[in-house]
Amino acid sequence: MIDVIVVGGGPTGLMLAGELRLHDVRVLVLDKRPEPTEVVRALGLHARSIEVMDQRGLLGRFLAHGRRHPVGGFFAGIPKPSPRLDTAHPYVLGIPQPTTDRLLAEHATGLGAEIRRGAELVGLTQDDDGVTATLADGARLRTRYLVGCDGGRSTVRELLGVDFPGEPSRTETLLGEMKVAAAPEVVAAVVAEVRKTQLRFGLMPLADGLHRVIVPAEGVTEDRTAPPTFEEFKHQLKAHAGTDFGVHSPRWLSRFGDATRQAERYRDGRVLLAGDAAHVHPPVGGQGLNLGVQDAFNLGWKLAAQVDGWAPDGLLDSYHAERHPVAAAVLDTTRAQMQLMSLEPGARAVRRLIAELMEFDEVNRHLTEKITATALRYDFGEGHPLLGRRLRDVRLEHGRLYELTHAGRGLLLDQTGRLSTAGWADRVDHVVAVSEELDAPAVLLRPDGHVAWVGEDQDDLVAHLPTWFGAAA
């Protein structure tokens, strides 16, 4: 029997596979596509996702293939300078999604995960002992748990019968990569003029003479799985810019809508949902891929603990309890941003007001933190201000915090030297080190980097360790 089947080989599924393999969980990733996609739907990582890669020792690989950009201007495309954020990585890492997919796949397979492409899930049943997955070729696989990371049109979610309430697409946007014959200065001038009123329009130069082209569609198609035609692209470019810029030689063409939906529950017995299978929203702000990767980061260690047999009661259910509200907040933020990008007079007036308010540093930082997820706090109850928050990468006497988190275990960072994790040493690392940047005697970090306890009393620590790490060995 397989420990976990992950359905979907995108960033969420691959991140989850890597997290599970850190704990020696046997993982099989099923992806119905015969080859990795070349479609570039997402263009980068926000600060929290960059921290996630750093926490697992992957950031160097990503930095080698990406470019750093300022954080400012991501909230509804309102141009504002980058605010000061509580992170060691106050930038956006521009990196195309196929590259992110490849790096995460290399990480997962390097740890021992198996990726099976051209394998389409068509059925599943579950019982008290596991899940039976049926594939399109008739194969039947048995697994202890199954996670649907298979996108907004998730087969896993549909087979489970989990409701996906929200709003359907009201607008549609065309997206593709193609070559452009017009001179660069002409392209830049026309795009600047069109974007004064239409923010869902742009031509961004890429490598190899290609441009990433985005333009509003004429309406909303009934079947958005069908890619647009090249003639449709040219027609819409002329409609909005008065020219098609001499586009030719398309590499790929796609479309996306602004549907906003969220699964009512992220767990149904031994089957769970993550990423776009659990929530979809317009791409404004660039949060989709990041939200999915962070879902996987929250779920991975909890599911591994369940498989390994040491998970305390309620640990796996805390995935829904923690991540469902996060996605709900993101959906609201993208709804607000879409309203601010409307061409209606009332919406444009509100946009001008928000832009004025963002001149205040505190407002600009607050809205930017919503995009970057750097101010996220899970509800662990009352206590120290750090409780429930992720701890940024603080400098230690020798090295830095995130260098100690690559194995995906819990971590007690002890500045007192008087504490002990005896009984939990197989799940929690104990590091005695001093950091001038940490205003707390000691902190207990979950494997996802969120602070689970702050203090200096051994009895209090022992009382809190079982909440996240189960009974003492």
Mean pLDDT of 81-108: 95
Confidence of residue 5 (pLDDT cuts 50, 70, 90): very high
For the cut 70, the answer to whether the pLDDT of residue 224 exceeds it is no
d(CA 104, CA 392): 22
What is the C-alpha separation between 452 and 381, in angstroms, rounded? Answer: 10
From the list 426, 430, 419, the residue with the least C-alpha distance to 472 is 426
Sign of CA pseudo-dihedral 279, 285, 286, 290:
negative
Q: Provide the token pair at 145.
A: 């748990």
What is the per-residue pLDDT for 109? 98
At 456 the three-state DSSP class reads coil
Which H or E run contains 161?
none
pTM: 0.94
- The more confidently predicted of residues 218 and 135 is 135
Confidence of residue 39 (pLDDT cuts 50, 70, 90): confident
Tell me the mean pLDDT in the region 116-135: 97
* Three state DSSP letters for 46-108: CHHHHHHHHHCCCHHHHHCCCEEECCCCCCCCCCCCCCCCCCCCCCEEECCHHHHHHHHHHHH
pLDDT digits (tens, 9 = 90+) for 248-264: 999 999 888 889 999 99
Phi/psi of residue 71, nearest 5 degrees = -80, -30
Distance CA 194, CA 216 (A): 12
Instruction: Answer yes or no: is pLDDT of 280 > 90.
Output: yes
10 Å CB burial of residue 283 (0-12, 13-18, 19+) is buried
286 pLDDT band (50/70/90 cuts)? confident
pLDDT at 391 over 80: yes
What mean pLDDT, rounded, does the chain reach?
95
CA distances from 453 to 48, 373, 405, 440, 461 (A): 21, 21, 17, 10, 7
The proportion of the chain whose per-residue pLDDT surpasses 70, expressed as a percent, equals 100
Q: How many Å apart are CA 276 and CA 151, to the nearest integer?
A: 4
Tokens read off for 398? 């020798």
Instruction: Give φ, ψ of 328 to 5 degrees.
Output: -60, -40
137-186 pLDDT tens trace: 999 999 999 999 999 999 999 999 999 999 999 889 999 999 999 999 99
Of 296, 281, 338, 46, the closest CA to residue 148 belongs to 296
Per-residue model confidence (pLDDT) at position 176: 92
Q: Phi and psi of 131, rounded to 5°?
A: -125, 135
Residue in the block written with tokens 């309203």 = 339
d(CA 407, CA 411): 10
194, two tokens: 């069109």
Look at residue 226 in the predicted model and tell me its pLDDT. Answer: 80
Is residue 235's pLDDT more than 70?
A: yes
Query: Which residues have CB under 8 Å from 461's CB, separation 6+?
Result: 412, 419, 421, 442, 444, 453, 455
pLDDT digits 0-9 by tens, 71-80: 988 899 899 9
Determine contact, residues 203/223, Cβ cutoff 8 Å. Answer: no
Distance in angstroms (rounded) separating the CA atoms of residues 332 and 338 = 10
Tokens 């014959």, residue located: 181
Which residue type sits at 232?
E
Give the dihedral sign, CA 145/151/152/156. Answer: negative
Domains of the chain, each with CATH number or no CATH: 2-166+261-372 (3.50.50.60), 172-257 (3.30.70.2450), 401-469 (3.40.30.120)
Q: What is the mean pLDDT of residues 26-52?
A: 92
> What pLDDT is recorded for position 281?
94
